[in-house]
Chains A and B, each alone.
Chain A
Amino acid sequence: MQVQTIDHAALLPLYLAAASAVLALFAGRFAKAAMMIGLTAAAIAAVWVGVGPDRAAFNVGEWHSYVADDPAMGAAALFAAVTVLVAGISGRQAGEYWFLLAASASGGIALAGSRDLISLIVALETLTVPLYVLVTKPGRDGAEAGVTFLISSITASATALMGAALLYSAAGTVHLGGLPAGLADADAGLTAAGVALLLGGLAFKLAAAPLHAWAPLVLERAPLPIATYLASASKLGGALAIVWLVHFGLTPGAGAFGDLLPPPEGFPSAPVAQRSAGIVLAALSVASIAVGNLAALAQRRTVPLLAWSGVAHAGYVLAPLAVITTADGREEAGAAASAALAYAVLFVLLEAGAFTALTAVRPGSGDFLASEEGRTPEADLKAGGPPVPDLKADAPVSGLTAGHRRTLAAPDRLGDGGRISELTGLWRTAPLPASLLLFSVIGLAGLPPALAGTFAKVAILEVLASSAVWLAVIVAAGAVVGLAYYLPLARTLLLGRPATLAGGRFAIAVAAIGLALLAASLAPQLVLEFTSVLQ
């Protein structure tokens, strides 16, 4: 047993993020500031490490458990930045909130550098576990969301762990760099089962069908800032885990021992690991595109609409990875992984934009975990009634109409995404958040002038067109269906008489993510360069 070398500079962003989490736990009223400053420092450190030469830590031979190359550090910086953004739109919260958020961000940063199955799964768990608490708003709906998330997440983790264990038993190594060589002459059934289970479990984080059902429910009932985090940073985690696994672990040529393998000739002679991974990814992708788009068509509430469309976008992220099934695709495995990563990053930025704008315009979307015993919630002041426990709200109360009962349950509904129709005429009342939301929605639809989304679509279609035209056609069909719900949403924002006069809040956060999206639209090379995994 040799002692692994540790390059502390490579781990600097992770150290900073973890330190800011600890600091937030003990900093009391300065927790928010400490956490935001700490994570900003982590983002800057990630950029600094990324700009410098590639570093690695925890080496075993030529394999590393932790790598600080450009894509990893870019993703780490994005994790930290999105978390700072979420903190910026969270309003006033208790100290634990900041600790949990920073802990989750540390998990994301660790995930970005992970290059073996165990640290990958542990990092993913670190990213997820704090969210069990954060998604749970007080009240019955919140509890339901929390329990749903907990159960489905644990199921997915167990599935992924099982898959990782099978892969380890087949390949004899957990390092992604060693997997291709290890799997080359491994038992076919074991490999296929391991790959399928692991990918299926990881796809849960990305909310890809068939493990998508938690997303609309949890996002709708979670507090909006946490929904922002779930829709952006958390999904980026899932996408990263899958891209790392497929690109570094299952694609010969990218791993350290890739040269030992002869280039595969055609479909039948392709290694089992790639074939099963390709089939699983294609199935996940097509299912997500179909389920997500069709379900989104029927949504009348904003957050579920975005959540279901997010399922479809998970399918678009996975689509380019599926091309490793085909011979053409394997030659372009690097380009495919880069495209998937670029799509994931741009999609995450757009989702963050949409949810940030929504948080900014929805009343009472902050302040939900703040210790405010003795304070009457805002909605109660408006409703003119005392807070009534939710469990009793459903009990038959004589003299209360159904409408009144709903009013009493209002604190529970406080700060959710609301119906789409409630956004009518937002353009007039809150131009800044409305333009951000509009830009994000049009970008998610992939249309100019929101070029960030167009570039994302171009990136994946370029890969698909050259190696799997049928999948490109499915992606195109999905995008057409997507337009059928994005355009009405855009129209709602622009036209009509506004129902409320609520202006926007969190102007700095809204402006920050807006500028990020604008930068990605005008200079896509910024994103494309760091998402390129071609070495």
Chain B
Amino acid sequence: MSALLVVAVGVPLIGAVLVWAWQHKAFAHWIGVAAAALGLAAAAVLPLGRADGTRMLDSGRFTSGWWHEFDAAWAPSLHLDFSLAVDGVSWPLILLTALLGLLCCVHNAAVIERGKTAPQPREATATATATATATATAEHHTSAPLQVPAATVETGGPFPAADQARGVPAASGRLHPGRFDPGTARPSPTLTSLLLAVQAASTLVFLSDNLILFFIAFEAVLLPMWAIIHRYGDPAARRHAAAKFALFTVAGSLLMATGLFVAVADAGTADLGAIITAGGVSDDVSLLVFTLLATGFAVKAPLWPLHSWLPDAHTAAPTVGSVLLAGVLLKLGTYGLIRVAGGLAPDGAADAAPVLAVLAALGIIVAGLVCLGLPEIKRLIAYSSVGHMGFVVLAFAAGTEAGVRAALFGNLAHGLVTPLLFFLAGALKSRTHTGRLAELGGLRLAAPMLAGLFGFAALASLGLPGLAGFWGEAFTVYAAAERGGAWLALAAVAAFGAFLAAAYLLRMLKRVSHGPVAPAIAGIGDASAAEIAVWSPLVAGTLLLGLMPGPLLALFAEGLL
């Protein structure tokens, strides 16, 4: 079974290379889908034949409680081994990564992002020849200048120029006009290749049992994601957003690396499981290690005030890029914080917990307040991630068993709900060519299924009981309150943040779904079968986690923390 660990990382990587090599072939997209599906299958069967997840006293020392392990020497003088391992904490995240990777590949291959299916009356009167969808789109923007204020990076939209270049490199020398037509636009296979590379690297992060390998995998995520944002993002904002993403991420990961190396030097080994079972690094460096690691992961997670790369990157990225950013990349930060930072330096974590908790609570409130005023849907969803991750960090900072489980659960729930929201927002933006809430409205009349899914995802995101978002946030408040004292205040702040989340998500829902049908919405098509197929696993997962949180919590309980 341990070879499956290599398969889970290797298949997406090989898929990425193959798709890249055959990117001009028609079947390139489906190679990507096949690779992602194989990766998902390999990830799904990992629990089979798992070792007992308890820590055993084996010949005088504790062995770590991994399900499966794979070990191969790579560069011993750097303490670098290619050692992979999986347990109940990392497996759900690996499964989530593989699932989102597959969904993104299918989305690229099968979902044709459509413009409006019927020309609008207003446009028909303006120009009789505006039958081609692309022309109609362009005309729409030029015909209503007063409704469209100047696009800025801060407002995140509406980037009129963005809508015609989805998934196509703007500066590519090989474009022909036909590829601009939104009716047939399909993302380039290169995007699929980059997605698979992100998936492989993220899976490696979750699997790695060696701290140096962890760092290398963490860094390996950066370049493909940078390329996704830079090449396939919103033309008006992508350069700025991609550069910001890259610089923040590298700064964070190098600080994290410094912390990792301090820990390696102190422990004398880079084996993650061994250091965790030994109780972490020694007391004198514990706080230093935790500070360095937590700063690094806080950039990735992101924790207020290190979050400022996130809204830009998520807003500028293409739909699948946002999905992976929210569903996978943020998880790298929280996974690292909980497993690596908390595991390597438990004492430092306990010392630093109040600071972390206050920052997290502030982040929840700030994100809530900012979201209340944001005019653009994708940016709003992106900013809501800052709040959700605040809950995760607060739960982790509480440090109790309930807290850590709430953190892991909230982490996973966010990984299902927010990608769904991004998929929906992407579908909406590709139809209406605007993400501004002021220009949307009446979606429930124009596209009832899309509106229904929007409502579902928004309710899941705001933490409705019975859906995935509830358990993580409820237990976070519980865990913080359980600590008593000043933590009660933090629990109250978090609860108020949950209330704010309800407010801004319902406001978004009201603007998008309800009211009279806005001109931009009129005549758009409802969700297609392919789209439903891509979204349904996320809907099912959200329901499943919401109704039956028990099995997942049991998995976390046997994890190595």
A residues lining the B interface (CB < 8 Å): 338, 425, 428, 442, 446-449, 451, 454-455, 457-459, 461-462, 464-467, 469, 472-473, 475-477, 479-480, 483-484, 487, 491, 495-498, 524-525, 528-529, 532
Contacts and interface: CB of A to CB of B under 8 A. Distances in A.
B215 A483 contact: no
25 contacts: A425-B173, A442-B223, A447-B223, A448-B220, A454-B216, A454-B219, A458-B80, A458-B215, A462-B79, A462-B265, A465-B261, A465-B265, A466-B266, A472-B261, A475-B254, A476-B251, A479-B250, A483-B247, A483-B250, A495-B169, A495-B172, A497-B171, A497-B173, A524-B78, A528-B77
Q: Which of B223, B226, B231 has the most CB of A within 10 A?
A: B223
B169 A532 contact: no
Given A442-B223, A455-B80, A484-B247, 12 more contacts: A448-B216, A448-B217, A455-B75, A458-B80, A458-B261, A462-B264, A466-B265, A477-B251, A480-B254, A483-B247, A487-B226, A528-B78
Given A425-B173, A466-B261, A451 B216 contact: yes
Sorted nearest first, the 5 A-B pairs with minimum C-beta distance are A466-B265, A465-B261, A476-B254, A448-B220, A497-B173
A385 to B, nearest CB: 32
Interface in B193-227: 201, 212, 215-217, 219-220, 222-223, 226
A495 B188 CA distance: 14
B262 interface: yes
Contacts of A491: 230
B74 A524 contact: yes
Nearest to A473: B258
B246 interface: yes
A469 B250 contact: no
B255 A476 contact: yes
A288 B199 CA distance: 37
Contacts of A532: 77
Interface in B71-92: 74-80
A449 B77 contact: no
A451 B292 CA distance: 23
A341 to B, nearest CB: 12
Contacts of B260: 465
Contacts of A448: 201, 216-217, 219-220, 223
Contact of B223 (A449, A464, A469): A449
B254 A479 contact: yes
A496 B173 contact: yes
Contact of B75 (A476, A483, A528): A528
Contacts of A462: 78-79, 261, 264-265
Nearest to A335: B77
A235 to B, nearest CB: 22
Interface string B222-240: 1100100011000000000
B5 interface: no
Nearest to B262: A465
Nearest to A478: B254
B110 interface: no
B294 to A, nearest CB: 15
Nearest to B261: A465
A475 B254 CA distance: 9
Contacts of B74: 524-525
Contacts of B377: none
A469 B173 contact: no
The majority secondary structure among interface residues of chain A is helix
Contacts of B264: 462, 465-466
A494 to B, nearest CB: 8
B77 A525 contact: yes
Given A448-B216, A480-B250, A495-B231, A458 B257 contact: yes
B492 interface: no
B220 A484 contact: no
B246 A487 contact: yes
B225 to A, nearest CB: 12
B262 A469 contact: yes
B526 to A, nearest CB: 36
How big is the B interface, by class? 35 or more
A461 B78 CA distance: 10
B243 interface: yes
Nearest to A465: B261
B288 interface: yes
Given A525-B75, A528-B75, A528-B78, A449 B220 contact: yes
Nearest to A445: B250
Contact of B222 (A447, A455, A484): A447
B243 A428 contact: no
Contact of A473 (B220, B222, B223, B255): B255
A519 to B, nearest CB: 13
B243 A487 contact: yes
A461 B261 CA distance: 7
A458 B212 contact: yes
B509 to A, nearest CB: 39
A480 B254 CA distance: 8
A412 to B, nearest CB: 32
Contacts of B288: 469
Interface string B113-154: 000000000000000000000000000000000000000000
A491 B358 CA distance: 40
Interface in B165-201: 169, 171-173, 201
A428 B74 CA distance: 34
A264 B303 CA distance: 43
A428 B173 contact: yes
Contacts of A473: 255, 258
Contacts of A472: 258, 261
Contacts of A497: 171, 173
A529 B222 CA distance: 29
Contacts of B258: 461, 464-465, 469, 472-473, 476
B71 to A, nearest CB: 16
Contacts of B261: 458, 461-462, 464-466, 472
A447 B75 CA distance: 17
B241 to A, nearest CB: 13
A448 B80 CA distance: 15
A475 B250 CA distance: 12
Nearest to B73: A525
Contacts of A466: 261-262, 264-266
Most chain B C-beta atoms within 10 Å of own C-beta, residue among A425, A451, A457, A476: A476
A95 to B, nearest CB: 43
A496 to B, nearest CB: 5
B261 to A, nearest CB: 3
A459 B265 CA distance: 12
Contacts of B243: 484, 487
A291 B61 CA distance: 50
Contacts of B223: 442, 447-449
Contacts of A484: 243, 247
Contacts of B222: 447
Contacts of B257: 457-458, 461, 465, 476
A498 B171 CA distance: 11
A480 B216 contact: no
Given A458-B257, A462-B79, A473-B255, A498 B173 contact: yes
Contacts of B254: 461, 475-476, 479-480
A525 B251 contact: no
A525 B81 CA distance: 11
Contacts of A480: 247, 250-251, 254
Contacts of B169: 495
A366 to B, nearest CB: 29
